[in-house]
């Protein structure tokens, strides 16, 4: 699903702030992973 979103948004990403979007998306994914990790191991 994420991959399809990326491919769909690809032309727009090229035109816009590609680096910024990539960085913010990475940050969000990192936060989600961190929350998931805490949920599994500390609940």
Cα–Cα distance measured from residue 36 to residue 29, given in angstroms and rounded to the nearest whole number? 10
pLDDT category, 3, cuts 50, 70, 90?
Answer: low
The whole-angstrom separation of Cα 42 and Cα 22 is 30
Number of domains in the chain: 1
Residue 34 has pLDDT above 80, yes or no: yes
* Predicted pLDDT at 40: 77
Task: Express each pLDDT in 12-22 by its tens digit.
Answer: 666 666 666 67
More confident residue, 26 or 23: 26
pTM: predicted TM-score of the whole model, two decimal places: 0.39
| Share of residues in the chain with pLDDT > 70 (%) | 47
Q: Which domain holds residue 19?
A: 2-41
Alpha carbons 22 and 41: distance in angstroms, whole number:
28
């Amino acid at each position: 699903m994420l991959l399809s979103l990326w491919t769909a948004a690809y032309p727009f990403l090229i035109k816009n702030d590609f680096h910024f979007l990539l960085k913010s998306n990475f940050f969000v994914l990192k936060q989600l992973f961190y929350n998931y990790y805490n949920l599994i191991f500390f609940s």
